[in-house]
Amino acid sequence: MLHADFTVIYSGASFQADLLKSLLEDKGIQAVLEDEFLGRMVPYFVQGGVKVLVVATDLDKSPKDS
């Protein structure tokens, strides 16, 4: 599933990363959490927190701020 074309769009708290992943997938954008397990078990061990990654070609699908 992971390949070189994934881009990190968020890094932080696991519950926020989980929410963002759900919102993206609801819009049809494939999202993957990196460091999810360690981020939940020992959050102080993961530099930058849990990361949300999306395929680079899906970046233009994300809603724009107005």
Q: Give the pair of three-digit tokens for residue 18.
A: 């989980």
**pTM metric for this prediction:** 0.75
Residue 42 lies in a domain: yes
pLDDT value of position 45: 66
27, exposed or middle or buried, with CB in 10 Å at 0-12, 13-18, 19+?
exposed
pLDDT digits (tens, 9 = 90+) for 32-62: 898 776 666 666 666 778 889 998 877 776 5
Domain of residue 52: give its range: 6-58
Residue 52 lies in a domain: yes
Q: Nearest CA to 8 among 27, 19, 21?
A: 21
| Domain count for the chain | 1
Residue 32 lies in a domain: yes
pLDDT value of position 26: 92
pLDDT value of position 36: 72
State the Cα–Cα distance between residues 50 and 64, nearest whole angstrom. 23
pLDDT digits (tens, 9 = 90+) for 10-31: 988 888 999 999 999 998 888 9
